Structure 1
Amino acid sequence: MRIRSDLDGLESLPLRLMIVAVVATMSVVPAATMLETLQAKEFMNRAALQLEKIVSAVQVLAIEGPGGVRTLSLEFGSQGELRFRGLVMGDDQGGPNMSSVQLLLSNGARMVRTSSEPPVWLRDASGHGLTVSAPACDLRLSAVLEDGLLSIVAEAS
């Protein structure tokens, strides 16, 4: 059996290559969007786990009582468009967020976790909420008893 020589194959090759190029070009935008969505989802999952880690440490310290200390290494870095803007821990005594940890995001949204069992006052050394602006830090939490009130003092370095 012999292969027949045919010039039609030469004519259809550029058309096939052009179709492949068009299809490949059309797939770049959805692939880039999917990658961005995946990066945002991965960042949000990591951030949620770290916030839960902070709240869990605060609750354990509150149960243990004064004198307990925990140090946590936090890392909120992101490769996508959704990024870390800040971390706010606690509030003034009696404030609406005195038991909360808030992650501020670059799109204006915030992720909030609250220590409710037991509720505990989370603050900095001066009695206000602690604001952290670096996406990576070491967080030192210590249980302190002042004037009969247990609070968790947070310090970032």
Structure 2
Amino acid sequence: MGGKARTPTLTFTPGVCGLTVPPLTQLPPSPSGVYSAPSLSAHPGPVVAKGGNVFLTCSSESTLGIFHLLKEGEAHLPQHMESRTYRGRWQALFPVGPVNTSHGGTYKCYGSSKAYPYVWSLPSNLLHLEVTGEEPHVLIVSSGCWGPAHERGI
């Protein structure tokens, strides 16, 4: 490694803060339009250095119990995350990283209720995640959980 300090990595254990949804046996359902479109954003931002970490946040003012994240052009099934209320919005934080060039691309998310997880909202705005070739200088590692307890430092 030539004396370089190792960069800490973000780890995320599905099921701890996430939600296990019965496996889809086919392509994701078509959006029904029953629920309005959520919004999708990247934190700390949509440009991430190779090896860095980012959270893709899907949020809505509507009461949506589950959010589904998809990467456009991928044959992979969506990621599912249970939502939590935070500052008056329902949201889910999807951890991505440590990133490499395969993480770059365009993402969107959908919302659904817990009672009917296969009835999806309209799609969110598209978010383009760009991965640069530079290694990060500073890395903030988070647990993947958020909310009032996290803010108090618990």
Larger RCO: Structure 1 or Structure 2 (Cα < 8 Å, ≥ 6 residues apart)? 2
Q: In terms of Rg, which structure is larger?
A: 1
User: TM bucket by the smaller chain?
Assistant: under 0.3
TM-score under structure 2 length normalisation? 0.27
| Bigger helix fraction | 1
Task: Report the TM-score, using the length of structure 1 for normalisation.
Answer: 0.27
